[in-house]
Chains A and B, each alone.
Chain A
């Protein structure tokens, strides 16, 4: 088991290096030199050369790559072109907000998605099953930003129940709609996965035995089927974390949530390359780490492959 954990951690290193390399390539691809993003287009050649020397953009590509990697090793993601503030510091300030939203969304997704999936599996082939699965397809197909706008329209503008934007004091009123929006794709995904996992488990022999023994159906479902069905679901919930990183970009923009996604969008609007690339790199690294943890957890939770 320990051997597997070490092997897995070692395998993560080339992936992290690859992510950094791809981000560097993207940085390098910016047309017209990143200098233009710093000083604007109406600049004379002399100033441009000065800026290039100052930022080390006149050096050969391999040297810039090595510098880039060594800065990353010190967790330095550069400085914003527009504010001059350190990108890593800004990310550290905003990431907890995104994390809070992601956890809330995951919570919402679990308490809605799993019962939906179980209900759908138990009532397979009936009307309820079709409704649940249609809701699941709807959830996966709906654009996240549109759903958020819809919620704002209904609950803030017409009904006036919930605040339309902002994080407030971290109270639950501000959290509800963003969490629902971010969790929408997850709800649908979890419902579908729970359904297929339950169906697979319910076809097993031990379920048939329990029923033959005369165990009431609800105990068969809750005690026997659900526990086994949920093992793969739990790990898939962890892997779905990537969708929160994606969705946070749009959700935070709509709800004015001061998180990582909104920071990235601000960078996009200002064409502030270090902010955008720093956020992309950080999110990818977080995603890799989460996958690593989930992978190890899955091995640990599933007694069949633990030994």
Chain B
């Protein structure tokens, strides 16, 4: 599973990095003579309503989607780690406050909160990062808090405290390494769900604005031409599905590797 998912991810990363070399046409080039062409030799995925090559826009869209997915995940991860560690390690009143905040953020259905943030700030690339991070940090924080609270009770932490290691030292050297594996698994799965979120927000017109090629906005544009030119919507959507499948398989595979409970059950059989 890791291999399959990982290879899909690597293929898309390569496409994103080398898109100027791989793309057959300029994704912004309008050519009204060739509009709404079905897939053919010259245009492998057809052209859209103003004659732009769909395949080129999908290739450039890979870059946009992956960057947004990864950066939003990193931002969520940093905030989640920060609040999770503080909440789990220091406990008490601080923990209660942060836990309350996490519960409130998790009480919102994710996409709706992202929509609320995006409408409040206004559409754009930066909005996407902020909206997705606001939605995503709480999940990380809650998980990290659980791990930190368990790690805090370990004997080696007590020993470190006894020899005079500072709180920050304990957190960095002893607590954080416990979180690494779960954070990696959650981050991988989150990239997939953020790519879906970005596609949904772009579909609604709240993401990166035209003419930037994003998969979600391509599906949205194609909606009006579903009867005559379904490839404008179908093919970008397929790209979204494949990338997210790749990240989900990779995340599931990593979880199978890192989760000791699952491994214990396997050995019992």
Instruction: Verify A145–B116 contact, CB threshold 8 A.
Output: no
A157-B230, A254-B223, A268-B205 known; A22 vs B119 contact (CB < 8 Å)? no
Selected interface stretch from B67-75, B97-105, B147-155, B161-169: B97-105
A254 to B237 Cα, complex, angstroms: 14
In the assembly, what is the distance between CA of A247 and CA of B234, in Å? 19
A276 with B119: CB separation less than 8 A: yes
| Majority secondary structure, A binding face | helix
Given A19-B104, A22-B104, also A143-B199 (CB < 8 A): yes
Pick the residue among B107, B237, B248 that contacts A19 (CB under 8 A): B107
Residues of chain A at interface, number, CB under 8 A: 53
User: Which residue of A is nearest B220, CB measured?
Assistant: A145
Interface size band for B: 35 or more
- The 0/1 profile, CB within 8 Å of A marked 1, for residues 228-247 of chain B is 00100110011011001101
Q: How far is the CA of A245 from the CA of B110 in the complex (A)?
A: 9
**Does residue B54 face the partner (Cβ distance < 8 Å to A)?**
no
* Cβ-based interface call for A108 (8 A): no
Q: Mark B102-145, 1 if CB is under 8 A from A, else 0.
A: 01110111111101110111100000000000000000000000
Give Cα A267–Cα B233 distance, bound, in whole angstroms: 24
Q: Mark B199-225 against chain A: 1 for CB-CB distance below 8 A, else 0.
A: 110011110000000001001001100
A287 touches B107 (CB 8 A): yes
Given A157-B226, A203-B269, A264 contacting B112 (CB threshold 8 A): yes
Which residues in window 2-41 of B have CB below 8 A to A? none
Known A203-B265, A242-B109, A249-B115; contact A149-B219, beta-carbon cutoff 8 A: yes
The reply on A146 being an interface residue by CB < 8 A is yes
A284–B115 alpha-carbon span in the complex (Å): 13
Tell me if A115 is interfacial: C-beta within 8 Å of chain B: no
Q: Does A207 contact B (CB under 8 A)?
A: no
- A92 vs B104: C-alpha distance in the bound complex, in angstroms? 24
Residue positions of B touching A, CB distance < 8 A: 100-101, 103-105, 107-113, 115-117, 119-122, 192, 196, 199-200, 203-206, 216, 219, 222-223, 226-227, 230, 233-234, 237-238, 240-241, 244-245, 247-249, 252, 265, 268-269
Residues of A within 8 A of B (CB): 14-15, 18-19, 22-23, 26-27, 29-31, 137-138, 140-147, 149-150, 152-153, 157, 200, 203, 242-243, 245-247, 249-250, 253-254, 264-265, 267-269, 271, 273, 276-277, 279-280, 283-284, 287-288, 291
- Nearest 4 interchain pairs by C-beta: A146-B237, A18-B104, A141-B244, A246-B111
